[in-house]
Amino acid sequence: MTEELDKEIAPALSVLRFPPDGLFDRLDACSPKDGAQRVPGRVSTRSADEIIIRLVTSDRCRTALDCLNLSMTLELFFLPFDKRMASECEFRVFCRTEDFRVMGINQYCWHKPWRYICLPGDCQDRIIEKVSLEARKLRVHILADLKGNDKIDMLLMRQGV
C-alpha cells in the first residue's frame, strides 16, 4: 500500500509548503492521530513522507478507507499546525435530533482532569459559559451550511448534527 501511495499520492503532496511548525492533516472522516510519528510525540507532519506514513499506519484512517464507497471522493485537509488545537483543548457537542438543540458538551479527553481545574470557580464558570456560547454559535453556522437534499447532510441531521 505504501508503494502505491508513494507513486500516486506523493506527487500531489509535493506541492505542499510546510510551515516551521508543520501541518495538521486529516481526512474528511477522521484525523490520523493514532498513526506512527516519525519523531515520537510530534503531532505535526513536516514532509509528504510523514503524511503518508501517518495515514497508512492509522487504524482510524484505514477503517474510514475500508468503509468508503468506491464512488465517493475522499478529501484530505491540511492546516498549519497550531498547538492550541490539541486534543486536551477539544470539546464535543451533542445535539438533539428533533431540533438540533445543544444537549451536552464534554471535553474530548474525558478521562483526563479538566485543564482548568486549578483555576478559581468563577474563572471555571466563565470558561464553561464561553464554551457553551461558542458551541451554540457553531451550531448556527453548521445548520446554515446543511443541504436538505445531500445524503451526508441528511445523515447528520438524523443523527443529531
Give domain limits for the chain.
2-82, 87-159
Contacts of 111-116 with CB under 8 Å at 24 or more apart are: 112/88, 115/88, 115/89
CA distance 53 to 36: 7
Read off φ and ψ for residue 130, nearest 5 degrees. -65, -45
Q: Look-up: residue for cell 451550511?
A: 145
Number of Cβ within 10 Å of residue 33's Cβ equals: 14
Residue range 74-88: mean pLDDT, rounded: 88
E-state strands within the chain = 23-27, 76-80, 91-95, 102-107
Quickly state the pLDDT bin for 8 (edges 50, 70, 90).
confident
- Checking if the pLDDT of 160 tops 80, the result is no
Q: What is the DSSP letter of 54?
A: H
- Checking if the pLDDT of 1 tops 60, the result is no
CA distance 101 to 123: 26
E-state strands within 34-160 = 76-80, 91-95, 102-107
Residue range 135-160: mean pLDDT, rounded: 82
Q: What is the DSSP letter of 161?
A: -
How many percent of the chain have pLDDT more than 70?
93
Mean pLDDT rounded to a whole number for the chain: 87
What are the pLDDT digits (tens) for 11-67? 888 889 999 999 999 998 889 989 999 989 899 999 999 999 999 899 999 888 887
